[in-house]
């Protein structure tokens, strides 16, 4: 009898361990934009993410005080972004301290702010004033955090993939000459010294073509060999990241980690192009969630898992630009999934929320953060290089497909528990 009970206890511990893993294994993040007039309140969003999803962190394109207050005590990690236009002034220590005192100190540590981004895709602006002041502003913001007694918040910035002059083959990855020494070398030195990541925004969607569809979507394909390393790349995402690693290696910064600040796939575009579909978005993001859960690195650096922020949390009906811009969301404004990519907790049923009106308008959010409308529109959108890429597709109102053909983690947990129950029967336990 005692042996049977001991075996039963062991099985229960195994079940508990896996169920605990289902809640904590993933560190997947999501970009939380607010350019919509039908979005749930920040408090509702915080509760939803905490209780219904495996998402553990959010990235904001501003430092919205309403969101920071709403996320207090949730345990969700929050990355905030300083508007591009403030960068020149933040090279001055007093201005940097003022920004930290106004936007971080009132909420930290109740809100788990763990990262401050100094601008978004600055190199893509081609603005010499912003570019030349970027690293000095990052250093000043870091000093301001230390001065405020905050020593566990990273400072970095996000880059579009136009930072690479050469990206194929991945082993030949190279930053643009001039900026490599003047900007990236001192930036990477700063990130090394402060143990912060180099953040990039790789979008396989922008490299999509019918011929390269499977390569863009993690689907079976012959792959593209890199003769220098002998690695055959079967997806664009890994190839892009390894090209970035190679560019960093050329500057002798192999010890700085990479972090994906944005990546995703839209579900609706203009007529005439077929890549924007629910199935494609589910396929792409499902693979990213799975690799995040598994702690998968890249072919060139397999032992270094890469954190990922998916783009984006919601469809946002007031984003400017082509209709594609409004259809990057994992969830609809009523918080039902646009499709299943594995971020909903196992066993959770999500019903449409009766609340679908915002706590404030996007314009009010911009004013609260000192952003002009034009500036916020730029910072709350992804890499502009692909925004004119529009295609056709219909976003299903009820689709929860997992088109990736993966073994989703939620199903793994369910199947594991089923096996454990069978084992209980074999051990002679009668419930």
Q: Which residues are catalytic?
A: 121, 262
Alpha carbon distances (Å) from 83 to 80, 122, 130, 135 = 10, 10, 11, 15
Instruction: Please work out, in degrees rounded to the nearest 5, the angle formed at the alpha carbon of residue 380 by the alpha carbons of 375 and 182.
Output: 70
Strand residue runs (E) in 64-136: 77-82, 112-120
Tell which phi-psi region holds residue 256, choosing left (phi > 0), alpha (psi between -120 and 50) or beta. beta
Instruction: For 183, list phi and psi in degrees, rounded to 5.
Output: -115, -55
Number of Cβ within 10 Å of residue 402's Cβ equals 18
Give the residue from 52, 30, 4, 38 showing the smallest Cα distance to 344.
52
Alpha carbon distances (Å) from 48 to 79, 252, 311, 334, 386 = 18, 42, 17, 11, 30
Whether residue 169 has a cis bond before it, omega within 30° of 0: yes
Report the half-sphere exposure of 354 (CA within 13 A, side-chain side): 0
In this structure, the strands spanning 307-310 and 164-166 are unpaired
Task: Give the integer Cα–Cα distance in Å for 81 and 259.
Answer: 15
Whether residue 148 has a cis bond before it, omega within 30° of 0: no
Q: Are 356 and 333 in contact (CB under 8 A)?
A: yes
Collapse the DSSP code of 257 into the 3-class scheme (helix H, G, I; strand E, B; otherwise coil) and give the result. coil
Alpha carbon distances (Å) from 235 to 242, 278, 391, 404 = 11, 19, 21, 14
Task: Give the integer Cα–Cα distance in Å for 74 and 112.
Answer: 8
Q: Are 203 and 262 in contact (CB under 8 A)?
A: yes
Which residue in the block uniquely carries the two structure tokens 């001991």?
Answer: 6
Task: Estimate to the nearest angstrom the gap between the alpha carbon of 406 and the chain centroid.
Answer: 20
Alpha carbon distances (Å) from 16 to 184, 290, 326, 397 = 46, 21, 40, 35
Give 39's DSSP letter: P
Which residue in the block uniquely carries the two structure tokens 């009898």?
Answer: 1
């Amino acid at each position: 009898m005692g042996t049977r009970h001991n075996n039963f206890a062991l099985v229960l511990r195994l079940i508990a361990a896996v169920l605990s893993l289902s809640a904590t294994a993933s560190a997947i993040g999501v970009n939380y934009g607010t350019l919509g007039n039908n979005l749930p309140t920040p408090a509702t969003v915080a509760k939803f993410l905490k209780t219904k999803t495996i998402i553990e962190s959010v990235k904001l394109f501003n430092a919205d005080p309403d969101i920071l207050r709403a996320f207090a005590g949730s345990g969700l990690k929050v990355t905030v972004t300083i508007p591009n236009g403030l960068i020149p002034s933040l090279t001055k220590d007093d201005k940097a301290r003022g920004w930290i005192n106004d936007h971080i100190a009132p909420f930290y540590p109740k809100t788990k702010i763990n990262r401050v981004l100094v601008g978004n895709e600055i190199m893509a602006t081609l603005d010499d004033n912003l570019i030349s002041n970027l690293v000095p502003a990052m250093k000043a913001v870091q000093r301001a955090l230390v001065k405020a007694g905050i020593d566990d918040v990273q400072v970095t910035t996000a880059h579009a993939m136009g930072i690479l002059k050469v990206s194929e083959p991945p082993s030949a990855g190279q930053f643009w000459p001039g900026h490599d020494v003047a900007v990236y070398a001192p930036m990477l030195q700063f990130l090394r010294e402060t143990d912060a990541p180099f953040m990039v925004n790789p979008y396989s969607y922008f490299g999509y073509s019918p011929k390269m569809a499977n390569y863009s979507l993690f689907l079976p394909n012959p792959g593209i060999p890199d003769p220098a390393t002998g690695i055959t790349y079967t997806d664009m995402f890994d190839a892009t990241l390894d090209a970035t690693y190679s560019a960093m290696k050329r500057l002798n910064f192999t010890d700085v980690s990479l972090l994906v600040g944005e990546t995703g796939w839209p579900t609706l575009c203009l007529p005439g192009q077929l890549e924007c579909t629910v199935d494609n978005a589910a396929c792409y993001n499902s693979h990213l969630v799975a690799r995040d859960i598994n702690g998968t690195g890249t072919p060139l650096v397999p032992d270094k898992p890469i954190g990922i922020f998916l783009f984006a949390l919601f469809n946002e009906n007031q984003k400017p630009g082509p209709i594609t811009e409004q259809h990057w969301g994992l969830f609809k404004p009523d918080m039902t999934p646009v499709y299943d990519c594995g971020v909903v907790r196992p066993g959770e049923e999500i019903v449409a929320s009766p609340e679908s009106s915002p706590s404030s308008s996007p314009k009010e959010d911009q004013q609260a953060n000192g952003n002009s409308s034009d500036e916020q529109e730029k910072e709350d959108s992804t890499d502009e290089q692909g925004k004119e890429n529009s295609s056709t597709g219909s976003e299903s109102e009820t689709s929860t497909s997992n088109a990736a053909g993966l073994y989703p983690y939620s199903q793994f947990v369910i199947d594991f528990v089923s096996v454990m129950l069978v084992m209980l029967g074999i051990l002679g336990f009668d419930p």
